[in-house]
Structures are given as C-alpha cells and as structure tokens.
Amino acid sequence: MVVGAIEKQGPYGFGPLEKSNKYNTKATLAKIVGDSYDGVKEMNDQKFTETFQLFNWNVTKEAAFQKAFEHQTHHRGQTTVCLRVRGIKPPEERLF
C-alpha cells in the first residue's frame, strides 16, 4: 500500500515478503520499513490528495496510508495475542 502511494518501487516488489527467504531477519525487515518511511518523508501535502490504483480501487494516497496503518495495527494485535499465549510479555508500545 505504501509503495504504491509513494511512487517509489523498492527492490522488494509488491507481494508477500514472508514467503521469501531473502527477508527473514529483523535487520532486513527494519530496513524495509525504514525505506518506506523515507519515501513518505519526501512527499508534500499535495501528494496526499492524489489518487492511484490500489488493487481494484481508485483511492487517495492519504486513504492508502490510513489503510496501511490499520493493517499494521491489525498485525500488531495478532502478534500481541500470539506472544501472550506463549507466556511472553509483548514490548511496550510507544504511541507518542
């Protein structure tokens, strides 16, 4: 979602990174996330109002970022539950 919105194709492509053996370390995943943040920093306010094709929908870039945040939050919740089921205390969240 973010890659489409920032108009910057990274070397990672678009698809399930978890199925690739190339992206299976914490450092590599942190770099992928960092690269997407760098792309967002390069955007100005006008860019957020532009539309683009995301899957089968024509959406604003702002809407794509909102959906990406929602999706990330969903997975954070899943991870928290999985850790707690295994008796592991999840790391504290830094909201602000």
pLDDT in tens, 27-50: 988 888 888 788 888 889 999 999
Note the pLDDT of residue 31. 86
Spell out the domain ranges in the chain: 2-85
Measure the CA–CA gap between 55 and 64, rounded to whole angstroms: 11
Q: Is the pLDDT of residue 14 over 80?
A: no
Note the pLDDT of residue 7. 63
Split at pLDDT 50, 70, 90, the class of 59 is very high
Q: Is the pLDDT of residue 62 over 80?
A: yes
Residue 75 annotated as part of some ligand binding site? yes
Helix, strand, coil content of the chain in percent (nearest 5):
55, 10, 35
